[in-house]
Amino acid sequence: MSTNSLLPALTRDAARAVMATAGDRHRPAFVQLRSLGGAINDVPGGATAYAHRTAQVMAQGNLFPPHGHDDLHRLWAPVREHGTGSYVNFESGTGPGVFDRAYPGATGARVRELWRRHDPDGVLRPLTVG
């Protein structure tokens, strides 16, 4: 199972939340930190489906069997509080919460409309887009 949070900055509190997921002795997550910024920040957030152009760090967490997505969702909740959203390609969960974190506000409305127009029969089996 995989999830992530896009962080405006790696603050002390955000770093502590990330490290707590890796240090959980009952469900230790595999954690990766990726630096963002640079050229991706040159494009306005509303110009593409990737609305999180101001994020500076992507924190990714993974849990492996026998743990499941519900375990990861609970474990990652404190990290998510520090984020502005998520990158959909590093999400193994589905549903409105995942979609809304990846495609917030007007971006989500645009993606929903495009999905309905180009895949009205649900052939691509999108995330729950409401």
What are the residues facing 35 on neighbouring strands? 57
Residue 63 forms part of a structural domain: yes
* Pairwise CA distance, residues 53 & 107, whole Å: 12
Flag whether pLDDT at 77 surpasses 70. yes
Average pLDDT, rounded, for the chain: 90
Domain count, the chain: 1
Mean pLDDT, residues 79-99: 91
Residue 121 forms part of a structural domain: no
Q: Which long-range contacts (CB under 8 A, 24 or more apart) does 21-28 make?
A: 21/61, 21/75, 21/76, 21/78, 21/79, 24/75, 27/63, 27/67, 27/71, 27/72, 27/75
Task: Note the pLDDT of residue 56.
Answer: 95
Residue 78 forms part of a structural domain: yes
For 36-64, the three-class secondary structure string (H helix, E strand, C coil) is CCHHHHHCCHHHCCCCCCCCCEEEEEECC
Flag whether pLDDT at 125 surpasses 80. no
Residue 66 forms part of a structural domain: yes
Flag whether pLDDT at 127 surpasses 90. no
For the segment 21-71, what is each residue's pLDDT rounded down to a tens digit?
A: 988 788 888 999 999 988 888 888 888 889 999 999 999 999 999 998 899
60-92: buried (b, 16+ CB within 10 Å) or exposed (e) per residue?
A: bbbbeeebebebbbebbebbbebbebbbbebbe
Residue 99 forms part of a structural domain: no
